[in-house]
Amino acid sequence: MILRTDYHMHTPLCKHAEGPTNAYVEEAIAKGFSAMGFSEHCPLPDGRSAHVRMDEDQLDLYVNEVLRLRDDYFGKMDVRLGIEIDFLEGLESYIEKILAKYPWDYVIGSVHYLDNACTRGSWDKNAKDIRALYSEYFLLLQKLVCSGLCDIIAHFDLPKRTGFPPTDAERDAISETLREIRSQNLVVEINTSGYRHVELRKPEPYPNFDVISEAISLGIPLCVNSDAHKPGDVGANFGEIERFLRTKTGVKLAEFEQRTAILRDFTA
């Protein structure tokens, strides 16, 4: 397989993933990856969204666990230390402190919520105005892109998990966001969890193939990630992505170490 990394995996610490961490590494080895990384959901202050993320006092435990795996599997698998942050306006300094405290290899940035109190999800099926939801979402995504907090932009068109894919109404916001990603030198994730999310109208990755094509034509490097919440998810549906990328030219893939991106050509 040409795709040799999977950087988006969770652990039971986030309360909605399962399986021992070793099993994720074993799965990555069995599927022929050369590097993999955990990116647990980052804590937030004052109990925000606490039911789907590790607690602040579990950060040491999480980091030590991933570093232990790195040692245990040395020579068999490069285990990288990542984290998935939520962008919430006004909480940037809280996140910055956590990012400064540990030796992260990369930071994945997400917009799961539209408000700072985490009461309005960015893929809320009951949202009354989907077009308004998309426009709020892309404004926040652009703020995340410009925040300097993250290296990789997660599941770019996440609001399609409402069951409503983006339309022509979103085209400008999508292009603007991609251009900003390019100018900030960030990486776009191709997230294969879309194939597992039954709410989507059709099985496809985040973002959809049109957006991936636009990102490639802008020269934006990519990371293909599974967003695994159980060991069997690791590397899932990477074959579909590989087949698609083979039809493109100029595809750049990013690998990460110590928050530095190392780019390579997909065909190399």
- Provide the binding-site residues for Zn ion, judged by CB under 5 A: 110
Which CB sits closer to Zn ion, 16 or 76?
A: 16
Which CB sits closer to Zn ion, 110 or 177?
A: 110
Which CB sits closer to Zn ion, 153 or 261?
A: 153
| Residue 9 DSSP symbol | B
For 180, other C-beta atoms within 10 Å of its C-beta total: 17
Q: How far is the CB of 191 from Zn ion (least distance, A)?
A: 8
Q: How far is the CB of 193 from Zn ion (least distance, A)?
A: 8
Return the SS3 of 173.
Answer: helix
Q: 56 φ, ψ to 5°? A: -60, -35
Q: How far is the CB of 219 from Zn ion (least distance, A)?
A: 25
Alpha-carbon distance 55 to 53, whole Å? Answer: 6
Closest to 252 measured CA to CA, from 230, 232, 267, 234 = 267
Q: How far is the CB of 244 from Zn ion (least distance, A)?
A: 21
Alpha-carbon distance 16 to 23, whole Å? Answer: 16
Closest to 153 measured CA to CA, from 7, 48, 21, 51 = 7
Which CB sits closer to Zn ion, 123 or 266?
A: 123
Contact, 89 vs 116, CB < 8 A?
yes
Q: How far is the CB of 108 from Zn ion (least distance, A)?
A: 8
Which CB sits closer to Zn ion, 110 or 237?
A: 110
